[in-house]
Structure 1
Amino acid sequence: MSAPAPPGVLGVVGGGRMGAGIAQSFAAAGSAVTVVERDEAAAAAARDRVAAGLARAAERGALTEPRERVMGRVTTVTSLAALPPGADLVVEAVHEDAALKATVLAAAERAVAERTVLATNTSSLPVTELASALARPGRFLGMHFFNPVPASALVELVVTADTADDTLAAARSYTRALGKTDVVVRDAPGFASSRLGVALGLEAIRMVEEGVAAPEAIDDCMRLGYRHPMGPLRLTDLVGLDVRLAIAEHLHAALGERFAPPRLLREKVARGELGRKSGEGFYTWQ
C-alpha cells in the first residue's frame, strides 16, 4: 500500500496560532498552501507566524528540506474569493464563533470546486450546525487539530450524518500524511477530546477554588501520578482561560450542571487573567 499523500493544494482560512500551525504542517509535508486573512496586516502577521514556526522546526531538526523552500510554498491572501479553485482541502480556523464560521465556510465553498473537502477546526462547536450553511454537506467534516499543531500527534475527525465516506477517507489520508494519528468521533457536544479535557480542567479549577491544593500540586499529581504530559491547570493557561470558559458554557448548556464553569474561572476571565497570552492565569508567564 502506498504512503498517504498530503493535499497537493490546501487552503487555510485564518492565520492565527492554529491556522498558522496547520499551514506550516502541510507546507512542510509538501502542500502548496494559501492562507486567507482579513487584511494585509493580518496576512503579514500570519506569514510571520508560519516563518517563525518553521525556524523553530529547523532548529529541532524536524524539517526534511530547507525552511526557505518550505516557506516558498506558502501564500497569503486577503479574500476568500482568492482561494485556489482546485484546492483538495480547505480548513477553516477562525475564531470560535458559530455564525462567523458558518459565513466563512459558505463563502469558501463558493470559491472552490465541488470535489474540495471542507473542514472546520472547531474544538467544540456543533459540526452539524455548521454543515447546515453548506450546499454540499457531504464534503464537510470537523478536523480538530491540537496546539501546537506541528508538534501534536492527534487530529480528531468529527463526522456528521451527512459526511460522505470518501470525505472521511480523504481527511484520514491527509492526517496520516502529516505523520499524525486520527481518531474518528460522531458529532456530539465537546466531541471526545474537549469533553474529557474540559471535565478534568474544570474539576482542577474547583479544587483550587476550594483550597484543596495549589495549582502546581494539582498539576504534579496528574503529571507524575498519571503520566499526563502537563497538568490540567497549566494546559488551561496555554489554551486560554477565555477559550476554556466559552467551551464550558457551551457544554453546560448542552450537557448540564456537571460542566458549569467554576466561579474562579469566571472571575479570572473578568480580570483579564487569560493565561499565557495575558501573562497571568493560574501561573505567571514571562
Structure 2
Amino acid sequence: MEDLAVDTPPADPATETFVAHRNLLFTVAYEMLGSAADAEDVLQETWLRWVKVDLARVSDQRAYLVRITTRQALNRLRTMRRRKEAYVGSWLPEPLLTAPDVADDVELAESMSMALMLVLETLAPTERAVFVLREVFDVSYDEIAAALDKTPAAVRQIAYRARQHVDARRPRQMVPASLTRAALDSLRHAIETGDLQRLLDVLAPDVVLVADGGGIKQAALRPVTGAGKVARMFLGGLGKVDSILTAEPTVVNGNPSLVLRLDGQLDGILAVRVEDARITGLYYVRNPEKLTRVQSATALTLR
C-alpha cells in the first residue's frame, strides 16, 4: 500500500513577509530607540498591525512594514523621553553583542556606535526618525513623509537640520577597527595590571567617561572628564575592589569593545570612541537590565 502524501499547510504570506524583514525592522527600531527591549515591543506592535493589513492593496510590503515600525518607534520614543527624565544617573544605549558581518559593514557599525547613538539622543524624536531613516537606511524623502504624515519638503528641512546637528557633534572621523582594537588592548592591559602610566598614555587629555548603572549598580552620576580623573576612577575604583578584574575583547554594536568581569561574573560592557589613536570617550554600561543582549549575537541589517 502506498504511503499517503501529507499536505503541508501553505505558509501565511503576512508571516513570511514579516519574518523576512524582521532583522531590518528591529534594526530600524533599535537605531531610533537605543533599547533592544523597547525595539522588541515595537516589533510586536508592528506585527499586530501588519496582520490586519490587506496585502493585496500594498505595492511595497517592505516599505509598508518600515512605515508601521517607524510610527510605533516614534510613539515609543516620546514615552521613553519621560522615562529618561526620571532615570538615575547617565543613560547609555543598551549594548548588543553583534556578529562579524555587522562589524564588516562600515556604515552599519558607525551608525550603531555608542558615540553616535549618544549624539542621536540629543535630537528631537521626529528629527531622530528622519535622520535614521534617511542617513542610515537611505529611505526616500517621499517614503519618510508617508511614514510621518508630513510633506516631502518638510522632511527635507528636518533632515537638513538633523544632519547639521549630528555633524557638529559626531566623531570627526571613523578610525579603522584595528586602531580601536589596539587602543582597547592597551586599556585592557592597564586596567588588569594597574599600570597608571599606560592608562594615561592611551587616554586623551580631555577624555570623557560616561557610566550607566541605572541606580542598580554603582556608577558616576555625571560624566567624568579628564585623563587623570578617569584613570583614578578605574584604578582607584574597579581596580581596587576585593575581586579579580578581567577585561575581554568583544564586539558590541558592530565595534570593538571590552566585557569586564569581577571574579568571572559579568560586571559591564565598555565601549570607546577613538580619535588620533587615543581614547576620547568611554561608555561603561553596568546596569544589569541592559546587559541581557551581550550573551548571544543579535542579527542586524540595513537592508
Query: Is TM more than 0.5 here?
Result: no
Q: Shorter-normalised TM-score: what interval?
A: under 0.3
Normalised TM-score (structure 2):
0.25
